[in-house]
Structure 1
Amino acid sequence: MKKAVLIVILFLLPLLSCESVRPVTFKGDLRKATDEQLMTKVQQDALKYFWDYAEPTSKLARERYHEDNIYPQNNKNIITTGGSGFGMMSIIVGIERKFVPRKEAVQRLTTMADFLENSDRHHGAWSHWINGETGKTVPFGKKDNGGDLVETAFLVQGIISVREYFKNGNQEEKILAQKMDNLWKGVEWNWYTKGGEKTLYWHWSPTYGWDMNFPLKGYDETLVTYILAASSPTYSIDAETYDQGWTRNGTYTTNQTKYKLSMYVKHNGAEEYGGPLFWAQYSYLGLDPTGLSDQYVSNYFDLNKNHVLIDYKYCVENPNNWAGYGSNYWGLSAGYTRNKDGSVGYTAHTPINDNGVINPTAALSSFPYTPKESMAFLRFLYTEKPEFIGSAGPYDATSIHYDNWFTPRYLAIDQGTISPMIENYRTGLLWNLFMNAPEIQEGLKKLNFKSTKYNIK
């Protein structure tokens, strides 16, 4: 009998290690945890979304995960490309922090790479949503049924980071790195200039062509799309496309201030306070703003830091008198929200679209810019509001004002920035991987960027 039990245990151990993030974080009273222990705790919790709850066939990130088991269209197999890129970067953090075994991570990332290679691509770009079982495009909207260049860029941030992390590893790791290299080199960035226009376009559909007609112009979350397009060794854009498209011939800069903080650039549709905080995060999981400048923006780190501080100061000021807002409960970003009737919706929260709902990803993913303020939020959440914490970390939307309301749901694109951005604050891990990629350095030089940190002149 004992021998039979032992055999069962030995059989199950590897399965258990594959399916769950290793519990290595602080286990005592969280009120006694150090700042470092709390950061490790939330990093590990957020990784569970991409490890424990990954789509089972592709191993890529589900668009959403609902603990209440209420899914739109009851489809649990939709994967999101951008969130999957963030998930790849979260897994790299998991390896470094020993949350997951390196070998198992390599196997999982290889499965992802193989799936992406065989998935629908539209002039090299992936669609926003993909069926995780078949690899077929799932329309994000009627005409949004083809290539999504921005989501592809977020995915490629992760792809390049994985390549750089494993390129000097063992044979299996080098094969993985080569697979990732092939994937990113297959993206036809210049196709998305709509026949040579000096701007990038977000969408192209095999059915509707360019009908979505969404040019990428600054400033919002899409900067890294231009960086990658300029860096491509196979389908590159020129500097003129960046200058005319993204910077609007340099007219996207501003002298405007808020709370005596320079805004540097005009935030699309949110010029007074700046856009939702994911604009300071999505392009910057890999792109390091530290010491980064170009002919238009003198300091990208200060641009992002000021953006976050303006949001923080607005929440502390709290002009709408929402209960709970303050120095330890703040941060407005896109994500789930509470509708007026109490149901769950989705919106991009900003100071000009503030309904009393806080998305924890906003403050937690801002650690590189506001470590003191972000730590106050992290400590408050884990020690005073445990109801806001679920199986994969903080829930996507919370509100003290509405009687401690929360939705027991997660979104990949929000959960995926938490662990990488905290790691960038702690060690600069993802920044160093991405910024030291040879193509990225050449692309930045092409667009006349300079970086004192990475000696780009």
Structure 2
Amino acid sequence: MKRNLLYVLMILSTIFSCSERKVGTAEIQENEEISDDSLMNLVQYRTFQYFWDGAEPTSGLARERFHVDGEYPQNDKNVVTSGGGGFGVMAILVGIERGFITRKQGLERLEKIVTFLENADNFHGVWPHWWNGETGKVKPFSKKDDGGDLVETSFMLTGLLTVRQYFRDGNENEQALAERIDKLWRAVEFDWHTKGGEDILYWHWSPNHGWDMNFGVRGYNECQIMYVLAASSPTHSVPASVYHKGWNRDGDIKNDPNHEAYGYHLALKHNGAEEFGGPLFWAHYSYLGLDPRGLKDQYADYWEHNTNHTLINRAWCVENPLGYKGYGPENWGLTASYSVKGYAGHAPGDKRDRGVISPTAALSSFPYTPEYSMQAMRNWYEKYGDKLFGEFGFYDAFSETEDWFPQKYLAIDQGPIVVMMENHRTGLLWDLFMSCPEVQGGLQKLGFE
């Protein structure tokens, strides 16, 4: 159902004036349109609520998932996520700046989160993928994945470092929080994850299974930020050779210079998806704080690369070679999300496109394709209304072909929506993260311009 500008202004007015920040809703006439700017406010506000009202109450962190339409699978209502939680702490900063909550409320929630992190299970300073939010004990992500997850930890650290920069010059309590975050950052042993000094970072280590998972992280996928942070660490950094030989495969990450899909070149080989690129979250997760504007090294111009990745993804949906219902210029975006059967890394290609559109794909691409992302957002809001847009923003995924509209959310998908929309609008999170002196030093060390 359409909501007009008056409705959104009413919501925001209530937010600014209500210390408890509880906002009611009201239905209005369908024949009045909402402006683009107000629609962005509304989508950011609703999606932010996943990390505010929807957070696990003991830890303050984002729940791994939230199912509006049914039981929590495996009784995981209290499972919280390190990566999605890191996106969530960035969303809290957006909430403060947008007036969805007060600065004091945001500080109090972040203090709760940091207290949880200080006491929760970690392994050489590295956090697991999941915890029980009530106890801080690790919840295994898989049989042998019951220890440190350096990729998800890097997503959390990105969020925490933006928070540190936001509060570092504030009042006494704010500066104290920044100092506590700095201790957590310094405790992460990136060098441990070279498995004794190899020129590559390993994703997992377990006190019970050691290096059995043996997942050396090579590009290109969503993990570049891990290498940047590892090079930037003031206490446990890794040499530049780990980035060049590990992530960049000693130069083999570079794509054929003649590669082209729909007229767009991908400078880097995407793991298992060289022709059209992988799922779109690869253009989002590492770049929530790391600013791709003008970011270049010997391997790629990352703004150009991410923009082309997004344009290829959209062009595939517009061409729609597999003939899925509903695909088109205003209904696009393939990425990892819930799928009709389970969970899947949707991407262009005959075997990877399953007819499932994930709103986070286009919405988190606002910096790269603002006009196309707006077209998709408005189309979903006006065409599907409450069928797709709920209490915490757009639901995770849908398929017109299967008439499949589940009311489910995932933290790892909702977080980038709030953050990347804000980076498009103001550059807030990019400016904060890039102000970290350690990050600037790490980028220089790795040869970035």
TM-score of the superposed pair, with normalisation by structure 1 = 0.91
Q: Which amino acid aligns with 2:130?
A: W
- Paired position in structure 2 for 1:271: 274
Q: Which amino acid aligns with 1:326?
A: G
Q: Secondary structure at the match of 2:343?
A: strand
Distance, in Å, in 2 between the alignment partners of 1:75 and 1:276 is 26
272 and 81 in structure 1: CA distance in 2 versus 1, 3 angstrom threshold: same
23 and 284 in structure 1: CA distance in 2 versus 1, 3 angstrom threshold: farther
After TM superposition, give the deviation of residue 69 of structure 1 in Å: 3.4
Q: Pairwise mapping of residues 151-230 of structure 1 onto structure 2 (< 5 A)? A: 151-230=152-231
Q: Pairwise mapping of residues 231-270 of structure 1 onto structure 2 (< 5 A)? A: 231-254=232-255, 255=257, 256-270=259-273
Distance, in Å, in 1 between the alignment partners of 2:266 and 2:22 is 40
Identity among equivalent positions (%) equals 55
Distance, in Å, in 1 between the alignment partners of 2:22 and 2:53 is 7
440 and 53 in structure 1: CA distance in 2 versus 1, 3 angstrom threshold: same
Q: Secondary structure at the match of 2:339?
A: strand
Q: Which amino acid aligns with 1:277?
A: L
Q: Which amino acid aligns with 1:311?
A: N
Q: Pairwise mapping of residues 269-348 of structure 1 onto structure 2 (< 5 A)? A: 269-297=272-300, 299-339=301-341, 345-348=342-345
Q: Which amino acid aligns with 2:116?
A: F
Distance, in Å, in 1 between the alignment partners of 2:81 and 2:31 is 33
After TM superposition, give the deviation of residue 181 of structure 1 in Å: 1.2
Say if 1:330 and 1:377, in contact at 8 Å, map to a contact too: yes
Q: Secondary structure at the match of 1:417?
A: helix
- Paired position in structure 1 for 2:130: 129
330 and 126 in structure 1: CA distance in 2 versus 1, 3 angstrom threshold: same
- Paired position in structure 1 for 2:4: none
Q: Deviations over 1:384-443 (max 9, x none)?
A: 11111111000001112223x211110000001001000000010000000111110000
Distance, in Å, in 2 between the alignment partners of 1:181 and 1:383 is 44
1:351 partnered with 2:354? no
After TM superposition, give the deviation of residue 351 of structure 1 in Å: 1.1
Distance, in Å, in 2 between the alignment partners of 1:336 and 1:166 is 36
Distance, in Å, in 1 between the alignment partners of 2:26 and 2:435 is 30
Say if 1:21 and 1:100, in contact at 8 Å, map to a contact too: no
- Paired position in structure 2 for 1:143: 144
Q: Which amino acid aligns with 1:260?
A: G
- Paired position in structure 1 for 2:9: none
Q: Which amino acid aligns with 2:396?
A: D
25 and 427 in structure 1: CA distance in 2 versus 1, 3 angstrom threshold: farther
Q: Deviations over 1:10-59 (max 9, x none)?
A: xxx9xx855x5657999775952111111111111110100001001000
1:87 partnered with 2:84? no
Say if 1:21 and 1:52, in contact at 8 Å, map to a contact too: no
Say if 1:126 and 1:146, in contact at 8 Å, map to a contact too: yes
Say if 1:227 and 1:443, in contact at 8 Å, map to a contact too: yes
Distance, in Å, in 1 between the alignment partners of 2:371 and 2:171 is 39
Distance, in Å, in 2 between the alignment partners of 1:362 and 1:31 is 28
- Paired position in structure 2 for 1:455: none
What is the count of residue pairs matched by the alignment? 428
Distance, in Å, in 1 between the alignment partners of 2:217 and 2:40 is 34
Q: Secondary structure at the match of 2:405?
A: strand
Distance, in Å, in 2 between the alignment partners of 1:161 and 1:398 is 32
Q: Which amino acid aligns with 2:343?
A: Y
400 and 30 in structure 1: CA distance in 2 versus 1, 3 angstrom threshold: farther
32 and 135 in structure 1: CA distance in 2 versus 1, 3 angstrom threshold: same
After TM superposition, give the deviation of residue 71 of structure 1 in Å: 1.3
92 and 108 in structure 1: CA distance in 2 versus 1, 3 angstrom threshold: same
Range with bigger deviation, 409-418 or 165-174: 165-174
- Paired position in structure 2 for 1:397: 397
- Paired position in structure 1 for 2:406: 407
Distance, in Å, in 2 between the alignment partners of 1:28 and 1:163 is 44
429 and 21 in structure 1: CA distance in 2 versus 1, 3 angstrom threshold: farther
RMSD: 1.7
283 and 22 in structure 1: CA distance in 2 versus 1, 3 angstrom threshold: farther
Distance, in Å, in 1 between the alignment partners of 2:411 and 2:38 is 24
Q: Pairwise mapping of residues 366-445 of structure 1 onto structure 2 (< 5 A)? A: 366-386=365-385, 387-403=387-403, 405-445=404-444
Distance, in Å, in 1 between the alignment partners of 2:367 and 2:24 is 25
Distance, in Å, in 1 between the alignment partners of 2:175 and 2:31 is 40
Q: Secondary structure at the match of 1:221?
A: coil
Distance, in Å, in 2 between the alignment partners of 1:250 and 1:401 is 41
Range with bigger deviation, 368-377 or 27-36: 27-36
- Paired position in structure 1 for 2:446: 447
Distance, in Å, in 1 between the alignment partners of 2:156 and 2:31 is 34
83 and 27 in structure 1: CA distance in 2 versus 1, 3 angstrom threshold: farther
Distance, in Å, in 1 between the alignment partners of 2:76 and 2:402 is 29
Q: Secondary structure at the match of 1:169?
A: coil
- Paired position in structure 2 for 1:5: none
Segments of structure 1 that go 5 or more residues without pairing to the other structure are 1-12, 340-344, 451-457
Range with bigger deviation, 64-73 or 440-449: 64-73
Say if 1:25 and 1:37, in contact at 8 Å, map to a contact too: no
Q: Which amino acid aligns with 2:304?
A: D
- Paired position in structure 2 for 1:364: 363
Q: Secondary structure at the match of 1:60?
A: coil
Q: Deviations over 1:157-177 (max 9, x none)?
A: 100000001111111111111
Q: Secondary structure at the match of 1:242?
A: helix
